[in-house]
Structure 1
Amino acid sequence: MEHAVTLMEMLGAREARAMRQQQLLEEYQLPVISFCLNIAGPVKNSPVLRRAFREGLERLACALLAGRLDIVHREEVDEPTGCEALWVVRGDGRAVKELCVELEDRDALGRLFDLDVLDPVSGKWDRTQLGQPPRRCLVCGKEGKGCASRRLHTVEELQSATQAILEDYFAKKDQQTLGALAAKALLYEVCTTPKPGLVDRSNNGSHRDMDVFTFLDSTAALLPYFEEAVRLGMETRNLPPQETFRRLRQAGAAGERAMFRATGGVNTHKGAVFTLGTVCAAAGRLWTAVGFSKDLEATLALCGEMSAQAVQEDFEAIRREGAHTTGQRLYLEHGLEGIRGELSRGLPAVAQIGLPTLRRRLEAGDSLEQAGVQVLLALMAQVVDTNLIARGGLEGQQWAMEQAKNLTQDRAVSQEKAEKLDRALIERNLSPGGCADLLAITYFLEFLSRM
């Protein structure tokens, strides 16, 4: 529970900080940066405020490094009265203050930063000494001191403005972070080698119209789509999950067009647009300003909640209107629901096969790539991949599944055996593209859990 501090607690913290500043000035005879957050109201510390403080520390460290200003000493405290940092820096006091002012004025989040600079010669530096204007009010944008002295805004207004700044900043940052993780997962998937029948660093698998570079072009083109998927999840997190999926489908159509433009009409990632895009949107729905959820079970379950109704409606339409694609034909003739059914059930192949296999192999000492090969083979051995059926019929799919089962009876499949299976699938023109998409999702969730 968040702690509401008293006036006496705040005065005590301020006095202790001032005393420690003086001690550091006397000990080091160098400028001291005193950093805390400008937060209105009795609650001065919370998970999201700690995150904002850490962001400020990271910015400050980067700025000092770029300015070639060495940090001689640093200390931070995390108390109910707020997070505070005192850094001793080797450099000119004026230059240090200029750097701190730039951080405060860089963007909206910087408006919450309070970066004082004290040095043993000039004392506390002020913005006006640098010819800089006073800081602006969070609510109205006018001179901040004037609003504060006359109490023109209520505490509630200031808190609301602060919360809006935090939500907006971290939402945009996390959209970019999660979108980049999705792109990274696709890059790791295509680069994992050997992957039987699939494009990898060694060969083009059973494909004649694409190679690794086609996948690189496609991934670069899809990065904005994955960011958009996260954003849609965030924006609709208070609406029914089905609404998120409805809006995502519209964005997915645009993502597919971007993919085809980048690849010259080659289908590299259509399945990933559907599946990985849904996972990104689910991650967005579970997001808060504190950060994204690492509850992978909840993320996958939400994928099912989002998509189940729409997928069922799709199947009803196929039964009513007939089949127009290979996947639709397989559903009508054999009841195979493919990746749509997998998604509507919350991607059980990822939860029960992909992630457990990946983590088991990593714990055994495999590299991430080696573990990824084992994940792909485990998926091939247990998942009915309609991509294999489209190329080789039910017989081809069953043959590939049997080969993968035989290999995965060993504790770990050697590279030589995986390469042999690769050659065999290429000879039969088979490619387990659905399992490749599930491998990419497995990578994405593993990356997410490490954040």
Structure 2
Amino acid sequence: MSLALAHRASKTSPASLGAWASACLRAELETYPKPGLVSHRDCGAHRDMDASLLRLSATTLEPFFADLAAAGAAHAEMDDLRRIGIAAEKAMLRATGGVNTHRGAIFGLGLLCAAAGLRQRLGLNGRLGDIVTQRWGRAIGAATPNAASNGAVAGRRFRVGGARAEAAAGFPSVYAIALPALRSAHRMAPDDAEAARVQTCLALIAQLDDTNLLHRGGAAGLAFAQDAATGFLAAGGIAAPDWLMRVAAIHADFVTRNLSPGGAADLLAMALFLEPLEA
């Protein structure tokens, strides 16, 4: 990822924020091995998407992330943000031939872009997640979700909150799990940003009640994923000499079981987005 681009994003113009959000989606993709997830090396547990499709999707979404940042700076209501998000989703689906590559990221990263735009306009000092909660949290919580979506169905069945609850609460999993893991991983592997992203992804899988895992594997699939990730971290994570072999084996197990922690992937991208923006 470009340090210059991260620096421009820290200035929080809508265009730079849009470019940075898109870059973070590409960085999440360019991370291997992420158990069950698409990367530049393979398609993980997915049969309908690959790296080139995800790169196209990330590029397609860049102007919409910029629009969301501009809307946040203009004090937009949640309905206004939702209209931009719906337009982004339609553009994504047109570009990908109907494949849902980044719906969750449009929601989460889009809200963070809007919060960054608002923070800059008002000269605020608070965390972007807190701004999301304070400005749009009530509207997010009151919105009627897509009851037929895989995440919503899994959330109801297993009584977990999912992406909407995470956003309304200010993305606690990003701030409590992903960002600390990412910063710690950079200290563990200061010259290997990809390894730091792998470590962060495994930290999220270990603790997140990922509705994507619940949808694909039920409670047993989620427990398997969390146990595998916890074991990897307990054995030293990326500090262990055989870490790459071990996480590659976990990746293969996820693929065999058709498990894909899409929620962890979205939160990893959000952590990458926030890292240069949150002191």
**TM-score higher than 0.5:** yes
Give the counterpart of 2:110 among 273, 277, 289: 277
**Greater strand share, structure number:** 1
Give the counterpart of 1:403 among 208, 228, 243: 228
Which secondary structure state, in structure 1, belongs to the residue aligned with residue 120 of structure 2? coil
Aligned to 2:177: 353
Give the counterpart of 2:135 among 283, 302, 306: 306
Structure 2: how far apart are the matches of 1:355 and 1:262?
Answer: 31
Look up the equivalent residue of 1:398 and give its one-letter code: A
Give the counterpart of 1:177 among 7, 11, 16: 16
Matched, 1:365 2:189: yes
Instruction: State whether residues 61 and 88 of structure 2, in contact with CA within 8 Å, keep that contact through their aligned partners in structure 1.
Output: yes
Structure 1: how far apart are the matches of 2:83 and 2:204?
Answer: 30
Equivalent pairs counted in the alignment come to 264
Percent identical pairs in the alignment equals 38
Structure 1: how far apart are the matches of 2:133 and 2:260?
Answer: 26
Structure 1: how far apart are the matches of 2:247 and 2:270?
Answer: 21
Shift of 1:247: 1.1
Give the counterpart of 1:256 among 89, 103, 114: 89
After superposition, the C-alpha distances for 1:187-237 in whole angstroms (9 at most, x for unaligned) are: 10000111110001111000011111001110111011000010001111x
Shift of 1:410: 2.5
Instruction: State whether residues 12 and 120 of structure 2, in contact with CA within 8 Å, keep that contact through their aligned partners in structure 1.
Output: no
Give the counterpart of 2:154 among 320, 330, 334: 330
Structure 2: how far apart are the matches of 1:288 and 1:260?
Answer: 32
Which secondary structure state, in structure 2, belongs to the residue aligned with residue 207 of structure 1? coil
Q: How does 1:52-71 map onto structure 2 within 5 Å?
A: none
Comparing 360-369 with 392-401, which one deviates more in the overlay?
360-369
Structure 2: how far apart are the matches of 1:245 and 1:407?
Answer: 40
Shift of 1:449: 4.8
Look up the equivalent residue of 2:110 and give its one-letter code: G
Give the counterpart of 2:55 among 216, 219, 228: 216
Give the counterpart of 1:437 among 261, 266, 273: 266
Structure 1: how far apart are the matches of 2:277 and 2:127?
Answer: 13
Shift of 1:333: 3.1
Structure 2: how far apart are the matches of 1:326 and 1:199?
Answer: 18
Instruction: State whether residues 323 and 332 of structure 1, in contact with CA within 8 Å, keep that contact through their aligned partners in structure 2.
Output: no
Instruction: State whether residues 129 and 170 of structure 2, in contact with CA within 8 Å, keep that contact through their aligned partners in structure 1.
Output: yes
Q: Summarize the Cα distance change of 1:424–1:245 in structure 2 as closer, same or farther, 3 Å threshold.
A: same
Shift of 1:173: 8.1
Aligned to 2:8: none
Instruction: State whether residues 244 and 281 of structure 1, in contact with CA within 8 Å, keep that contact through their aligned partners in structure 2.
Output: no
Aligned to 1:58: none
Where structure 2 has 5 or more consecutive residues not aligned to the other structure, the ranges are 1-10
Look up the equivalent residue of 2:108 and give its one-letter code: T
Aligned to 1:389: 214
Instruction: State whether residues 78 and 140 of structure 2, in contact with CA within 8 Å, keep that contact through their aligned partners in structure 1.
Output: no
Where structure 1 has 5 or more consecutive residues not aligned to the other structure, the ranges are 1-171, 237-242
TM-score by length of 2: 0.89
Q: How does 1:31-50 map onto structure 2 within 5 Å?
A: none
Q: Summarize the Cα distance change of 1:184–1:447 in structure 2 as closer, same or farther, 3 Å threshold.
A: farther
Aligned to 2:37: 198
Structure 2: how far apart are the matches of 1:325 and 1:437?
Answer: 16
Matched, 1:380 2:205: yes
Structure 2: how far apart are the matches of 1:370 and 1:210?
Answer: 23
Instruction: State whether residues 181 and 447 of structure 1, in contact with CA within 8 Å, keep that contact through their aligned partners in structure 2.
Output: no
Structure 2: how far apart are the matches of 1:331 and 1:412?
Answer: 29
Aligned to 2:275: 446
Structure 1: how far apart are the matches of 2:90 and 2:197?
Answer: 29
Shift of 1:323: 4.2
Which secondary structure state, in structure 1, belongs to the residue aligned with residue 271 of structure 2? helix
Instruction: State whether residues 185 and 441 of structure 1, in contact with CA within 8 Å, keep that contact through their aligned partners in structure 2.
Output: yes
Structure number with higher relative contact order (C-alpha < 8 Å, ≥ 6 residues apart): 2
Instruction: State whether residues 155 and 211 of structure 2, in contact with CA within 8 Å, keep that contact through their aligned partners in structure 1.
Output: no
Which secondary structure state, in structure 1, belongs to the residue aligned with residue 228 of structure 2? helix
Aligned to 1:415: 244
Larger Rg: 1
Look up the equivalent residue of 1:193 and give its one-letter code: Y
Structure 1: how far apart are the matches of 2:121 and 2:133?
Answer: 21
**Greater helix share, structure number:** 2
Shift of 1:352: 0.8
Shift of 1:364: 2.5
Matched, 1:344 2:181: no
After superposition, the C-alpha distances for 1:16-64 in whole angstroms (9 at most, x for unaligned) are: xxxxxxxxxxxxxxxxxxxxxxxxxxxxxxxxxxxxxxxxxxxxxxxxx
Shift of 1:327: 2.7
Look up the equivalent residue of 1:328 and give its one-letter code: A
Please provide the CA RMSD for this pair.
2.1
Q: Summarize the Cα distance change of 1:285–1:399 in structure 2 as closer, same or farther, 3 Å threshold.
A: same
Aligned to 1:118: none
